[in-house]
Amino acid sequence: MTGQWETLGAAGGIEAYVHRPAGEVRGAVVVCSELYGVNAYVRATCAELASAGYVALAPDPYWRDARRTELGYSPEERERGLVLMRALDRDELVADAAAALSAARAEAGGRGVAFLGLSMGGHIAMRAATELSFELAVVFYPGWLLNSGFPLVGPVPPLESGDRIAAGGAFVLGFRGELDHIIPAEEWEQAEQRLTRAAVPHELVTYPGARHGFACSDRPADYDPQAGADAWRKAYAALATYL
């Protein structure tokens, strides 16, 4: 099977890149992208998930402003991604997550649904967990869990609503590198405390010496093969357990 762009819901609305497995469906995964959009790395991630038996759907986060955006990792493309990211709206992202969840449920073959988020997408996955009900949130170096300041965060960051994550029922599996410049160690520790206090089942992992983006093989300056392989191994084990 190959992936393809599909409209979720009404014509002219949100699109997602969808990759289905060739054989038995073991569940569905909503892949929330980095600020670089649904680029080659995200599409390759969808293909790998499909090869493991999961229907993978990667919603287009920027569809209202720039459809099917796919950026590389140069400084210039990062700046373009930042402009697009700053235009995102929290409530619109939640609506998009709900549309993606509905489509994923229809594709899951009676199994569960996970949200798997990368950087900006990790934040989106955590926000979705405060508003929607699904089985698993896997978040790689998610930002702005405890602080606002961007329209996509809104006035209340996700972990101010830890009790709502508990009500939604998702297990939270999170990964961070020790040298992450976006997520300081204190914030990660506070996230652990908030999740524990809200009785959210979770596991938060920090990899010594790893940077932000350590799990992305398309980012050679940040990629940490050992940490990345371990994080993806844990992610697939969680998918097998919770879906």
Whether the pTM exceeds 0.75: the reply is yes
Q: How do residues 9-59 score in pLDDT, each as one tens digit?
A: 888 999 999 999 999 999 999 999 999 999 999 999 999 999 999 999 999
Q: How far is CA 100 from CA 1, 56, 165, 182, 226, in A?
A: 20, 10, 18, 27, 31
Tell me the CA distances in angstroms from 61 to 80, 95, 210, 214, one per residue in order.
14, 11, 27, 22
Q: Measuring CA to CA, how many Å separate 243 from each of 13, 58, 62, 123, 238?
A: 28, 18, 28, 21, 8
- In CATH, the architecture of 4-242 is 3-Layer(aba) Sandwich (3.40)
Q: Which two tokens stand for residue 46?
A: 């969808």
pLDDT in tens, 63-119: 999 999 999 999 999 999 999 999 999 999 999 999 999 999 999 999 999 999 999
